[in-house]
């Protein structure tokens, strides 16, 4: 069963870099959506890959 996971960012570059990493990790493009205005990345993936997605999201947030 797929789950939608969201990652919010402070700027579009962070969101785009996350999108690039998700593609590089093998997530199909059709499963990833970027809301440019809200700077949110949404990914639809099987529940068992949630941890990997959250790790990728965390790489691009400001610390």
Where residue 29 falls among pLDDT bands split at 50, 70, 90?
very high
- Give residue 62's pLDDT: 60
* Average pLDDT, rounded, for the chain: 93
- Give residue 61's pLDDT: 79
Residues pairing with 46 in the sheet: 2
- Give residue 60's pLDDT: 86
3-state secondary structure 6-55: EEECCCHHHHHHHHHHHHHCCCCHHHEEEECCCCEEEEEEEHHHHHHHHH
Judged against a pLDDT cut of 60, whether residue 63 lies above it is answered with no
């Amino acid at each position: 069963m797929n789950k939608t996971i969201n990652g919010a960012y402070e700027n579009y570059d962070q969101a785009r870099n996350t999108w690039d990493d998700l593609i590089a990790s093998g997530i199909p493009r059709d499963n990833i959506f970027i809301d440019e205005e809200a700077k949110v990345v949404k990914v639809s993936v099987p529940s068992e890959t949630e941890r990997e997605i959250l790790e990728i999201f965390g790489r691009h947030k400001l610390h």
